[in-house]
Structure 1
Amino acid sequence: MMDIREVTHYLTRERSDIPEVISFRATRRAIGVLGVALPFLLWWGGLLLNRTALQPSISHYYFTNMREAFVGVLCAVSLFLFTYKGYNKMDSYAANAAGFFSLMVAVFPTNIIDGYPGQSMVASILDVKIHNAIHLTSAGLFFITLACMSLFLFTKSNKPKSQWSDARKSRNMVYKVSGWIMLLCIVLIGISEPLLGVGKTSKVTFAMETVALFFFGISWLTKGDVVFGD
């Protein structure tokens, strides 16, 4: 069994093949895959299983036949984020916060749009302002937390920049691009309706959420050494 110094040494290395670190990579990859897959799972699943039209946002799939998939994936992401242990406490705190916000998005559904196809009984019970406020706030904080992790935590290294490999530099570029795109998507979602005149049934929000989730997934897959590994 390794002592604490050996564990610390291995956890602060750029790469390692010991089982403990492999499990960290597997967690990162699982988070990344779920992030990339979620919008396509809901869209194509709804279309193939029930001919469900593309919804205005990912959250509106709660009111379709894909509700279980929506809630299940968010809860799985939340679980992985809660169990994720980064290189330091800040990594873990940020991941736990993102996991909490993901869980809140699943537990507190968004408001269904008036006249839009959905489960009317569920909508009438859950169409409460506080639910929507918690949902929207949690969704925004979820993406902001993930973006900040990509920009400020994933880019950290225990080595000086002069010793960075080309792969390390490429990974940092992926983290930065992913983080900024996630933030841009949040801004575009916020201004699309009031400033751009986009209606509530527009698919702009779904498109921006899909892009944000894609780059969230790419960032975590990169962190899991799927691309640009040393």
Structure 2
Amino acid sequence: MKKIQRHNMYAYRRLRRAIGYLGMLLPIILVLLSLFHFFDTDIQPSISHYYFTNLREVFTGTLCAVAFFLICYQGNGNRVFWKNDNLLTNIAGVMALGVALVPTNPLAGQELAYSLFSINLKVLHYVFAAILFLSFSLLAIHVFTLGQAVNGEIPVSMLNENKIYRACGYAILLFIVLIPISSFPYATLIFETLSLLTFGIAWLVKGRALGDQGKIGEKLYREKNSCNTEDQLPE
């Protein structure tokens, strides 16, 4: 039984890391590929505008992958809405699909090609995006901070995982609020990228991408020899 539980624990961690890596890499890959003349794509003012470029498949494909991973993610649930990981990840997954498949308005000279819709759905796209990032924030602040084992032998460090989750969650909210009130070039792209990077950091820490033994285990998770002793499903 313990062997099955440990296998499930590692499967959950791999899923968390996959979600984190995809979220972090999406804006980085889009911008880097834009620098290559081969793709005939300029750096766009927002991540969403890559829908109308030759990198459309990278944008929609990555978002859809994140969406399906989020929908497949199964946590322990909670009666409180903002602490219910099952509900929040399902909402985030559906919203990610909405962002991928319901485009914002094209820029001048761009065509609304390969879209499921031919009408102006810019507002709906923004609603999907806002709920998506709000879900990310709630997961980091209220869900990821649940369940850390109490360990009086190891003090809470400045790098404790719960502090990182809260910092990432509030940073996501801050960056999203800054988008509509900022007017400098590429402001939307920059703040969307920062939001996805902080989102990815939270999921990678939760997925223990850096490991959890030795000093890392003590500083981040208040645990010792975690990989050898932990045998229950993740919180």
Question: Under TM normalisation by the shorter chain, which class is it?
Answer: 0.7 to 0.9
Q: Which residue matches 2:71?
A: 82
Does structure 2 conserve the Cα–Cα contact (< 8 Å) formed by 1:111 and 1:126?
Answer: no
Which structure features the higher share of helix residues?
1
Equivalent position of 1:13 in the other structure: none
Q: Equivalents in 1 of 2:166, 2:115: separation in Å?
A: 42
Decide whether aligned partners of structure 1 residues 168 and 85 sit closer, same or farther in structure 2, where only a CA change above 3 A counts: farther
Percent sequence identity over aligned pairs: 36
Match of 1:216 among 199, 207, 210: 199
1:104 aligns with 2:98: yes
State the partner residue of 1:189. 179
Tell me: CA distance 1:109–1:160, structure 2 relative to 1, closer, same or farther (3 Å): same
* 2:92 partner amino acid: A
Runs (4 or more) in structure 1 with deviation over 6 Å come to: none
Aligned to 2:133: 143
**CA RMSD, Structure 1 to Structure 2 (Å):** 2.6
* 2:12 matches 1:24: yes
Change (3 A) 1:165 1:73: farther
TM-score, scaled relative to structure 2: 0.79
Q: Write the deviation string for residues 88-112 of structure 1: whole angstroms up to 9, x where unpaired.
A: 3511111111001001001101101
Q: What corresponds to 1:180 in structure 2?
A: 170
Change (3 A) 1:54 1:133: same
Q: Measure the CA separation in 2 of the matches of 1:103 and 1:69.
A: 14
Pick closer, same or farther for the CA change 1:46–1:76 going to 2, 3 Å: same
In structure 1, the gaps of 5 or more residues are 11-17, 193-197
Any idea what SS the aligned residue of 1:122 has? coil
Deviation per residue, 1:129-157 (Å, 9 max, x gap): 3x211110000110011011101110011
TM-score with structure 1 length normalisation?
Answer: 0.81
How many residues get paired? Answer: 207
| Counterpart for residue 40 of structure 1 | 28
Higher mean C-alpha displacement, 167-176 vs 103-112 = 167-176
- 1:121, distance to aligned residue in structure 2 (A): 5.2
Distance 2:155 2:119 in 1: 52
- Letter matched to residue 51 of structure 2: Y
Counterpart CA distance in 2 for 1:164 and 1:147 is 28
